[in-house]
Structure 1
Amino acid sequence: MNYDTRHNRRQAVVADDGRALPITTFEPADGEPRGVVLVVPAMATPSSYYAPFATHLAASGWRAVTFDYRGMGSRAEMKAETGDVDRWFADVRAILDVVADDADGLPVTWVGHSLGGQMVPFVEHTRLASVITVSAGDGHWRRNQPGVRWIAPVLWSVVAPLAIRVAGYYPGDRLKMIGDLPGGAMRQWARWCLHPEYLQADHPEAPALFAEVKAPMMSLSFTDDELMSADSIQHLHAWYSSAVIVRQRFSPEQLDGRRLGHHGYFRSANADLWDELVVPWLAG
């Protein structure tokens, strides 16, 4: 599909603490959008990773919005960042409010990749017409895939704290473990991943919050995900006890031998799967 990037626009959303949060909006080139899609990223994954997906949605008639979590820029930004994952939750709440206000009555769909699928209860989810989670599970290490299950406690308890102390941020790219992250976000995430009920380590109210989410939901996951096991994905979505959830889980054999893992779905080589597996579930 052809798409004119001149229709993209950048703006800043003001968080509740006054921080400017840049977002990028991909507008359809022709006509009014059919709906709005907010793409909420995975941990340590830049918004640029989702640009091909957002471009494709815009070319197909949807307005798509991408953003980075605060502190996810240069190493200097990461070293200077004092916020944690809860801070990101509050930021995304502000972003959703602006996106929903600008939608002017158009339906808003939340596409949450991994961490993005965990934070719906912490935003004003009544403004969402639908939710799509991609490779989203809970992060407790005992529910990780076997290949990382016994490495994870060492990462959270030993490697991450030492690396943050030395580098001033979590240098995941150099360690080849996850990706670069601000220290505060990594510390909080580590605490959650070591807790049997994950983010309930800091949010004992989480079950009640998840139960308040009533937007129709589709969970998309892949058997070759190197991080999230079927148990992890099931455990997270069981918390969404009031939502009607359609669960779609695919093996490489069902996808012409393609291995998507935890991040592969959003690669441009898999654009045919965007149309096949996500676009039919977009509100619009």
Structure 2
Amino acid sequence: MISSTETRIDNGNGHFISANWFRPEGEVQAAVLIVPAMGVPQRYYAPFATWLAERGYLVATFDYVGMGQSRNGHLRDLNVDILDWARHDCSTMLSLVVNAAGGKPLYWIGHSLGGQILPFVEGAERISKVLTIATGSGYWRENTAELRRRVWLLWFLVAPLVTPLAGYFPGKRLGMVGDLPKGVINQWRRWCLDPEYAVGAEGADVRDAYSAVRTPITSISFTDDEMMSGRNTESLHSFYRQAEKRFKRIAPADVGEKNIGHFGFFKPQYEQSLWHDVLLPELA
């Protein structure tokens, strides 16, 4: 039976993050780093990580600073943004997983935000393959019609008014995304208001960082994603100009399911239809 081991890790930026390691009972055939979506705690990915470990993969999950098990103290006292999460939290985790892999292939599985921030991660060239799950640009005008109505309220009214008053974004109380450090919500807002998302908001250095990625990328997205439209997915992945890219855009009916959505992929109910039939061939 697979069990997880939690470790507290110095992220090199004055903070400690929580990581959980899922180790196979036999020989490790490859390593996987699961990089979470915005506001999603690492425990959400535990069933998926356990399933991978049962099949011979060494798997690591973690929480960004201020999120889940990496939340220490009050968020209003935390001065970090999304780039800090990538450059420190993700870079630290990647380095540890590379060392633990012992020369075996290493896969980056990024859920939503986890597929957006790869270009800012130190050592990303050591990744064998990237799989992005429900990942796309957050540009609000290209969001699904259902989401556009809600994010207009979030970006133009709620976030700019509430964040300065609270000193952080109290999303849990508001039923929006979850609690986020002020630097994260403010940067994310800038990205989502720009037609070119992070590339447009941050400038030439970020554009170059995306273009510098050469690791093969497989994008797995879903036609019933309530957040990311097909256009969002295409836009974000177009910034990876020099990476070999494959797109798997899946309708639930294609895999015998009624719905999947933005968060569905990692639910155990999709073990056969998505984990086994869609994901495993990508790790071969």
> What is the TM-score normalised by the length of structure 1?
0.92
Distance (whole Å) between structure 2 residues aligned to residue 95 and residue 44 of structure 1: 18
Q: Kindly state the Cα deviation for residue 75 of structure 1 after the two structures are TM-superposed.
A: 8.9
User: Who is 2:130 aligned against?
Assistant: 131
User: Who is 2:80 aligned against?
Assistant: 83
Q: Which digits, 9 at most, give the CA deviation of each residue in 1:96-122, with x for residues without a partner? A: 112112211011100000000011111
Residue of 107, 115, 129 corresponding to 1:117: 115
CA RMSD of aligned residues (A): 1.7
Residue of 10, 17, 22 corresponding to 2:6: 10
1:50 and 2:45 aligned: yes
Distance (whole Å) between structure 2 residues aligned to residue 155 and residue 102 of structure 1: 41
1:146 and 2:141 aligned: no
User: Who is 2:278 aligned against?
Assistant: 277
Q: Which digits, 9 at most, give the CA deviation of each residue in 1:73-106, with x for residues without a partner? A: 4695323321111110112112111211221101
- SS of the residue corresponding to residue 151 of structure 1 reads helix
Correspondence 1:135-214 to 2 at 5 A: 135-200=134-199, 201-214=201-214
User: Who is 1:244 aligned against?
Assistant: 244
User: Who is 2:56 aligned against?
Assistant: 61
Determine if contact 2:16/2:65 at 8 Å carries over to the other structure. Answer: no
Distance (whole Å) between structure 1 residues aligned to residue 10 and residue 204 of structure 2: 28
Q: Percent identity?
A: 40
- SS of the residue corresponding to residue 79 of structure 1 reads helix
> What is the TM-score normalised by the length of structure 2?
0.92
The farther-off stretch of 120-129 and 249-258 is 249-258
Unaligned 5+ residue runs, structure 2?
none
Q: Kindly state the Cα deviation for residue 12 of structure 1 after the two structures are TM-superposed.
A: 3.0
> Number of residue pairs matched?
278
**Which amino acid is 2:131 matched to?**
I
**Which amino acid is 1:206 matched to?**
V
- SS of the residue corresponding to residue 137 of structure 2 reads coil
Distance (whole Å) between structure 2 residues aligned to residue 108 and residue 246 of structure 1: 18
**Which amino acid is 1:4 matched to?**
I
Distance (whole Å) between structure 2 residues aligned to residue 153 and residue 269 of structure 1: 33
- SS of the residue corresponding to residue 205 of structure 1 reads helix
User: Who is 1:38 aligned against?
Assistant: 33
Unaligned 5+ residue runs, structure 1?
none
User: Who is 1:228 aligned against?
Assistant: 228
Determine if contact 1:28/1:61 at 8 Å carries over to the other structure. Answer: yes
User: Who is 2:257 aligned against?
Assistant: 257
Determine if contact 2:108/2:129 at 8 Å carries over to the other structure. Answer: yes
Q: Kindly state the Cα deviation for residue 253 of structure 1 after the two structures are TM-superposed.
A: 1.7
